[in-house]
């Protein structure tokens, strides 16, 4: 059977609002030891994601004045739990994104269900290899 | 002034070009999914295998694929004495997530550290290293990966 995103995605996500300052975003990431932070607006709709790489764009600017919405990578493509895993991996590779936001299957839904991380895919690959008799 | 060597990770994980991707994946898993540096037998940096490069081979035969086929050739030389701003500029320009730091004195391009974009985030957050180290090392209450 074809594997789907729901097998590997993690439920829930770390989020900040669009007006959070970059210094706070950096602190959220360091304290939680994650390499991403999703950005939501007031209606809990997903706006985009800030990764460790995109935060570099703000380096040299005033970290307290720069807001999350200034540097976020906008959310433009839809990944749902039933998307085939292969398709998600291709998207990650093409866009060079390490964390994909997963939203609900419902049309028009913009609430975050969870995230698909690149680590979980590598972890899965390592475990698949261990399982195979060598 | 903050220098590259103050922030870099001195623990470099490396493999040889002939190693299979299976071994690389195993190494990554054992080392918190950090990138693996590919070195020549002489100790010279040849390339880097990142997580995004590895997942391209999901579902394929990892035993038959070699690290050389997966790696991205790496030719930039970063000196540990560079100011951190210079390294960040380089990261922004090349869009690389990781910079390999090479020893300027010990012969041909021997890797001595890796600078990850997360290290820069750490620096920008202003939280001192060591302050949260204890919290981060605590065992997870809910293991995140499920079978």
Label the pairing between strands B45-49 and A36-40: unpaired
The reported pLDDT for the residue numbered B123 is 87
B62 → closest Cβ in A89, A119, A125: A125
Residue-wise pLDDT tens digits, B75-113: 888 888 999 999 999 998 888 889 999 988 877 788 899
Chain B residues in contact with A35 by the CB 8 A cut-off are: 117-118, 121
DSSP chain B: --BHHHHSB----EE-TTSBHHHHHHHHHHTTT--EEEE-TTS-EEEEE-HHHHGGGTTS-TTT-BHHHHPEE----B-TTSBHHHHHHHHHHHT-SEEEEEESSSSS-EEEEEEEHHHHHHHHHTPPTTTTHHHHHSPPSS-S---
Position B4 pLDDT exceeds 70: yes
B2 touches chain A (CB under 8 A): no
Decide if the complex's ipTM is over 0.85: no
Which ranges of chain A have pLDDT less than 70?
Answer: 1, 133-134
SS3 assignment for chain A: CCCEHHHCCEECCCEEECCCEHHHHHHHHHHHCCCEEEEECCCCCEEEEEEHHHHHHHCCCCCCCCEHHHHCEECCCCCCCCCEHHHHHHHHHHHCCCEEEEECCCCCCCCEEEEEEHHHHHHHHHHHHHHCCC
- Which residues touch A59 (CB under 8 Å, ≥6 apart)? B85, B88, B92, B120, B124
Residues B110, A62: Cα–Cα separation, whole Å: 36
Closest CA–CA distance from residue B106 to any residue of chain A (Å): 30
Dump pLDDT digits (tens) for A49-61: 999 888 888 888 8
Amino acid B133: pLDDT: 56
* Banded model confidence at residue B48, pLDDT cuts 50, 70, 90: very high
What is the rounded average pLDDT of the residues B35-49?
Answer: 91
Rounded to whole angstroms, how far apart are CA atoms A85 and B139? 29
Q: Which of A26, A58, A65, A68 to mutate to test the interface with B (most CBs of B within 10 A)?
A: A26
Residue of B nearest to A31 (CA): B132
Best mutation target, A31, A35, A53, to test chain B (most B CBs within 10 A)? A53
Q: What's residue A88's pLDDT?
A: 92
> A66, A19 in Cβ contact below 8 A?
no
Residues of B in contact with A2 (CB under 8 A): none
CA A73 to chain B, closest CA, distance in angstroms equals: 14
CB contact under 8 A, B121 and A52: yes
For residue A1, what pLDDT is reported? 58
pLDDT at B147: 43
For the stretch B129-136, contacts whose Cβ atoms lie closer than 8 Å and that sit 24 or more positions apart, written own/partner, are B132/A30, B132/A31, B135/A31, B136/A33
Q: Does the CB of B86 have a partner CB in chain A at under 8 Å?
A: no
Q: Chain A to chain B, count of Cβ pairs less than 8 Å apart?
A: 111
């Amino acid at each position: 059977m074809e594997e789907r995103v729901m097998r590997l995605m993690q439920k829930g996500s770390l989020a900040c609002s669009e007006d959070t300052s970059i210094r706070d975003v950096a602190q959220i990431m360091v304290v939680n030891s994650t390499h991403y932070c999703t950005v939501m607006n007031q209606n809990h709709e997903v706006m985009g994601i800030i990764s460790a790489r995109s935060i570099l764009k703000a380096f040299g600017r005033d970290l307290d004045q720069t807001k999350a919405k200034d540097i976020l990578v906008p959310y433009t493509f839809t990944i749902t739990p039933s998307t085939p895993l292969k398709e998600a991996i291709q998207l990650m590779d093409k866009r060079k994104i390490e964390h994909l936001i997963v939203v609900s299957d419902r049309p028009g839904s913009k609430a975050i269900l969870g995230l698909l991380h690149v680590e979980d895919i590598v972890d899965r690959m390592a475990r698949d290899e261990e399982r195979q008799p060598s | 002034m903050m220098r590259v060597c103050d922030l870099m990770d001195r623990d470099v994980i490396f493999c040889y070009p002939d190693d299979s991707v299976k071994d690389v994946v195993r190494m990554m898993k054992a080392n918190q999914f950090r990138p693996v540096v590919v070195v020549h037998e002489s100790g010279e940096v040849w390339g880097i295998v990142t997580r995004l490069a590895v997942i391209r081979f999901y579902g394929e035969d990892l035993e038959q694929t070699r690290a050389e086929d997966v790696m991205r050739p790496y030719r930039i030389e970063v000196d540990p004495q560079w100011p951190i701003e210079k390294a960040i500029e380089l990261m922004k320009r090349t869009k690389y997530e990781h910079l390999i730091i090479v020893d300027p004195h010990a012969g041909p391009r021997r890797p001595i550290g890796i600078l990850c974009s997360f290290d820069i985030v750490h620096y920008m957050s202003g939280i001192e290293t060591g302050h949260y180290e204890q919290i981060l090392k605590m065992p997870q209450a809910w293991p995140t990966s499920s079978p």
